[in-house]
Chain A
Amino acid sequence: MNKLFDLSTRRQLLLVVASTGALLLLAFAFPNNYVATFAFQLLTWIILAMSWSLFSGNSGYASFGHGVFFGLGTYATAAVFRFTDLPFGVALVIAGLTGGVLALLVGLAVFSSARFAGDLFGLITLALAFIVITIVSNVPWLDGGSGVFVRELVGDAWIGRSATNLYIVGALLAGLTAIVAVLAWKTRWGAALQAIREDENVAESLGVATYRHKVLAFAASGTLAGLIGAPQAVFLGYIEVHSVFALNIPLFVLMMVILGGIGHWWGAVIGAIVVVVLREALLGLGSADIAQIVVGIALIAVIIAMPHGIAGYIEKLRARKRVQEVSP
């Protein structure tokens, strides 16, 4: 178990493929709809956390607009179902493209000037959320303020038949996201992003094409978030602006990644699992508010006690163990 995370990139990719296969096999073992639904939601959060971490965790540019790409994917899917008879696969691709193209355009504009780094980048992404909310709630063919009933539009298509089918789509997307995440951490692309996080000016002076790498990573992150927005539309059944673009979605994603640790691609996975399971366990305890308080306090405790998240903590433990082995 200890060696698991020390493997080379190729073996990590194999591990991802094998885990995705295992996740797919698990779909046959669900005892009831509740478990399948929970598993799908867990996968959605894992994908959101991984795709956020892919850009923001790697490059250190904290984005508060991740919910925008996710929400746009959801609305794009709803629009496809509403105006065409195309199958879910096409809607999925369009959802991904919508998120990706918006992220690409925003990235091209925002990263063109060094002024929009740090706090200002975070705020611009936050502003993006407010603008997209206003646009979506005012454009009649997207929403127009009354919401969209996706459940009626899906009808008896494969995707809408059971929660297990949603889970299968989620598992495939999780596999895809993990592959992109491994690449974004372990290849030259990842090295460039991490160099940007450490010191962007130095990275640029050493010949790292910072602009291209940032734009590419941001677009990839937006595409993945848009993709998982597609099954989410079917899952929700009825979509409405203020729940789809709720500002606590990017907050939760941020929390998961910080909790898990931004130093490793699998930190986001751990963080997402911990937060979702914790919240679900706490919901039995009482109201959603109490659950939110406990999760928030947990986040504060983690920031104070483990500044590098759970992944960083595991690394530290392993390093300590290694030292003990060397000097008995």
Chain B
Amino acid sequence: MSGDTLALLQTLLNGALLGCLFGLIALGLTMKWGHLGVPDFFHLSLTLFSGYLTYTLVTGLLMNPFLTLLITVPAMFVIGVLTQWLFFTIKASAFTSLLLTFALFIVAESVMSVIWSPDMLSMRSWLDSSFTTAIRIPVGDKSLSVLPVDVMALVLALVLVLATWWMLKHTRWGRALQAMRQDAQIAEVLGVRILPITLIVSGLAAATAAVAGMVVVVRMPLTPGLAMNWIGVVIVATLLGGLGRPLGALIAAIVLMMVQNAWSLWFPPQWSPAVAFGLLFIYLALTPIIRIVRERVELRRNREQAV
């Protein structure tokens, strides 16, 4: 195997694994956006906030990063429930909730900057070497390297996304949620209790931010502005995957990061931030064409059946 192919493979692998992390962040966003109708920018702040919280718990109380989840997950669940409860009590329209999440987003950025300082915080030196030593996967006579934290991101993303997908499809709650999404009023008439469901969905979505935050702090150094950098990729992945579809968002995030990484291999890397949005625009431009083609095909099939 030549060095070039290996470099490409390594780049694609890195992209796919980083995509898992973004898919994990997008999971909560796509649930809230698709099923509760709130494009929740605050979710990104919650992710970063849990990252900082994990940092403090690990460096201050010398906790194991995995054990911190016992604290951060319930904490984020409560915050998620509270924000949704706020939207409910003030009967926020979609536009108002968008503004509220944006306001919370900028408040959160400054709060984190005040508490943890605007400087970069890295947890690397506090971690066990089993987190930071690369695992080598032999390919032919050479090898690909993978960081354990990336494997962790992959596993956590797969577990959470598949669990969400299964719950949406196969549990009464999941189906109630889908019914609510189609028509909230009719669902309510048919016995779906809207308030508890929205509160719990929002809480669970926020709880996934705690998990994502733990992966973030293990993987990269934190700054209060980090959440702003994620907006692009996470939102594009959410849209490309289809709103409310966790699996779609994960796949989109993986593809997006693979394309972006491969791009930097062949073209000037400083152009790569625009790649995600370029893909979004291509997708948006192509969807009507796909729809027209699909409708044509269906029409023809119906006609043939009629004949």
Task: Report B76 CB to chain A, min CB distance, Å.
Answer: 19
User: A122 to chain B: which residues have CB within 8 Å?
Assistant: 39, 98
User: B167 to chain A: which residues have CB within 8 Å?
Assistant: none
Given contacts A60-B95, A138-B270, A289-B114, contact A127 B277 (CB under 8 A): yes
**Which B-chain residue is minimally distant from A299 (CB atoms)?**
B103
Given contacts A127-B232, A130-B277, contact A296 B103 (CB under 8 A): yes
Contacting B273 at CB < 8 Å: which of A62, A134, A299?
A: A134
Task: Report A178 CB to chain B, min CB distance, Å.
Answer: 24
Cα separation A290 to B111 with both chains bound (whole Å): 8
Tell me if B104 counts as interface (CB < 8 A to partner A).
yes
Interface size on A, residues (CB 8 A): 39
User: A120 to chain B: which residues have CB within 8 Å?
Assistant: 239
Task: Report whether B270 and A300 are in contact in the complex, using a CB–CB cutoff of 8 Å.
Answer: no
Given contacts A131-B274, A307-B96, contact A296 B281 (CB under 8 A): no
Task: Report whether A303 and B99 are in contact in the complex, using a CB–CB cutoff of 8 Å.
Answer: yes
The listed residue with most B CB atoms (<10 A of its CB), out of A119, A122, A137, A307, is: A119
> Which residues of B23-75 have CB atoms within 8 Å of chain A's CB atoms?
33, 39
Cα separation A289 to B114 with both chains bound (whole Å): 7
Given contacts A130-B232, A247-B228, contact A290 B273 (CB under 8 A): no
Task: Report whether A296 and B106 are in contact in the complex, using a CB–CB cutoff of 8 Å.
Answer: yes
Q: Give A117-147 as 1s and 0s: 1 = Cβ < 8 Å from B's Cβ atoms.
A: 0111011101100110111011000000100
Given contacts A62-B95, A134-B270, contact A292 B106 (CB under 8 A): yes
Tell me if B145 counts as interface (CB < 8 A to partner A).
no
Given contacts A289-B113, A293-B110, contact A126 B235 (CB under 8 A): yes
By secondary structure, the B interface counts as helix
Cα separation A3 to B53 with both chains bound (whole Å): 54
**Which B-chain residue is minimally distant from A134 (CB atoms)?**
B274
User: B239 to chain A: which residues have CB within 8 Å?
Assistant: 120, 123
> Which residues of B247-301 have CB atoms within 8 Å of chain A's CB atoms?
268, 270-271, 273-274, 276-278, 280-281, 284, 287-288
Tell me if B85 counts as interface (CB < 8 A to partner A).
no
Tell me if A154 counts as interface (CB < 8 A to partner B).
no
Task: Report whether A304 and B110 are in contact in the complex, using a CB–CB cutoff of 8 Å.
Answer: no
Task: Report whether B232 and A293 are in contact in the complex, using a CB–CB cutoff of 8 Å.
Answer: no
User: B96 to chain A: which residues have CB within 8 Å?
Assistant: 303, 307
User: A138 to chain B: which residues have CB within 8 Å?
Assistant: 268, 270-271
Task: Report whether B281 and A127 are in contact in the complex, using a CB–CB cutoff of 8 Å.
Answer: yes
Given contacts A127-B280, A299-B103, A300-B104, contact A119 B111 (CB under 8 A): no
Contacting A300 at CB < 8 Å: which of B103, B228, B276?
A: B103
User: A289 to chain B: which residues have CB within 8 Å?
Assistant: 110-111, 113-114, 118
Task: Report A249 CB to chain B, min CB distance, Å.
Answer: 12
Cα separation A135 to B106 with both chains bound (whole Å): 26
Task: Report whether B271 and A126 are in contact in the complex, using a CB–CB cutoff of 8 Å.
Answer: no
User: A287 to chain B: which residues have CB within 8 Å?
Assistant: 114
Tell me if B226 counts as interface (CB < 8 A to partner A).
no
Tell me if B102 counts as interface (CB < 8 A to partner A).
yes
Tell me if A251 counts as interface (CB < 8 A to partner B).
yes
Tell me if B155 counts as interface (CB < 8 A to partner A).
no
Tell me if A169 counts as interface (CB < 8 A to partner B).
no
Shortest 7 CB-CB distances between A and B: which pairs?
Answer: A296-B107, A134-B274, A289-B110, A292-B110, A127-B277, A299-B103, A293-B110
Can you pick out 16 interface pairs between chain A and chain B where the beta carbons lie within 8 Å of each other?
A113-B288, A119-B39, A123-B39, A126-B232, A130-B273, A131-B277, A138-B271, A145-B270, A247-B231, A289-B113, A293-B111, A293-B114, A296-B103, A296-B104, A297-B103, A300-B104
